[in-house]
């Protein structure tokens, strides 16, 4: 870092300014272990997608359906009351929120599966392109 006096971007003369010339060797932006490589685990992404499909989606659906019966009984017992109309609004809102959450889970599951495949395909394509590069050292 360089500290100095003078007008910086948006500053006035005489103010202190700080300019970052590089990242410190340690800290949140430093590469772990000195490596800046992207690490992707397709198996972990598939496992997460499978967890969404086998655990989160069924449990969310079950939890979302649970109030339907109880609210239906309440609304039928409160016919001709303003409370019944309010309960109907609550139930409709609940159903919309459950539907939205189920859609979000499905989207995340699909994205995880697509990302796992995309990254594998990209890695394979890069490996093939690098392997196809001819080097003068190959002659020796």
Q: Each residue of 25-46: pLDDT tens digit?
A: 555 555 555 555 556 688 888 8
- Please count the CA atoms within 13 angstroms of the CA of 128 that sit on its side-chain side: 6
- What is the pLDDT, as a whole number, of residue 121? 77
Q: Taking the model in full, what pTM does it have?
A: 0.56
- What is the pLDDT, as a whole number, of residue 77? 76
Q: Is 19 helix (H, G, I), strand (E, B) or coil?
A: strand
Query: For residues 94 and 65, what is the distance between their CA atoms, to the nearest angstrom?
Result: 10
Q: Each residue of 80-132: pLDDT tens digit?
A: 788 888 888 888 999 999 999 999 999 999 999 988 778 777 777 888 888 88
Is 14 within 8 Å of 5 (Cβ atoms)?
yes
- What is the pLDDT, as a whole number, of residue 119? 75
- What is the pLDDT, as a whole number, of residue 101? 96
Could you give the angle at the alpha carbon of 41 between the alpha carbons of 49 and 32, nearest 5°? 130
- What is the pLDDT, as a whole number, of residue 65? 86
> 1: pLDDT confidence band, cut at 50, 70 and 90?
very low
Q: Is 18 helix (H, G, I), strand (E, B) or coil?
A: strand
- What is the pLDDT, as a whole number, of residue 85? 82
Alpha helices in 41-81 (DSSP H): 42-51, 57-77
- What is the pLDDT, as a whole number, of residue 33? 54
């Amino acid at each position: 870092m360089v500290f100095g006096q003078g007008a910086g971007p948006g500053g006035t003369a005489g103010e202190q300014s700080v300019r970052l010339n590089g990242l410190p060797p340690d800290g949140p932006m430093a590469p772990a272990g000195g490596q800046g490589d992207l690490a992707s685990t397709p198996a972990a992404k598939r496992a997460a997608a499978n967890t969404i499909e086998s655990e989160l989606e069924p449990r969310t659906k079950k939890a979302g359906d649970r109030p339907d019966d109880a609210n239906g009984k309440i609304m039928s017992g409160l016919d001709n009351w303003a409370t019944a109309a309010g309960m109907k609004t609550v139930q409709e809102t609940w159903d919309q929120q459950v539907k939205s959450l189920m859609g979000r889970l499905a989207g995340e599951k699909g994205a995880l599966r697509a990302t796992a495949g995309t990254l594998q395909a990209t890695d394979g394509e890069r490996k093939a392109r690098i392997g196809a590069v001819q080097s003068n050292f190959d002659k020796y």
